[in-house]
Amino acid sequence: MSETITESTNVFDYEILIRKRGDGDYASYCPQMNLMLTGTEHEQVQTMMQEAVLKHVDELKAKAN
């Protein structure tokens, strides 16, 4: 089964889900990009995912131009 990655250029169409998996072990997941990132702090994984979403949206916008 293949996952389709959203091609929306609206950053508000992307969800960021964060889960604490243990002491100093966090994961963020964006279902629209089928992407999971891990780190040691809540803020770290949130920032990393926000940056990944922005990069994805910027790449989509650049491809459209």
How many structural domains compose the chain? 1
Note whether residue 2 is domain-resident: no
Average of pLDDT values for 50-63? 96
Range of the domain at 56: 11-64
Grade residue 52 by pLDDT with cuts at 50, 70 and 90: very high
| % of residues, the chain, pLDDT over 70 | 95
pLDDT, residue 29, reads: 98
Domain membership flag for residue 50: yes
CATH classification of the domain holding 21 = 3.30.160
Kindly state whether residue 34 falls inside one of the protein's structural domains. yes
- Residue 29, in any domain of the structure: yes
Q: How far is the C-alpha of 21 from the C-alpha of 18, rounded, in Å?
A: 10
Q: pLDDT of 24-33, one tens digit each?
A: 999 999 999 9
Token duo for residue 2: 């293949």
* 1 part of a folded domain: no
The mean per-residue pLDDT over the stretch 47-54 comes to 98
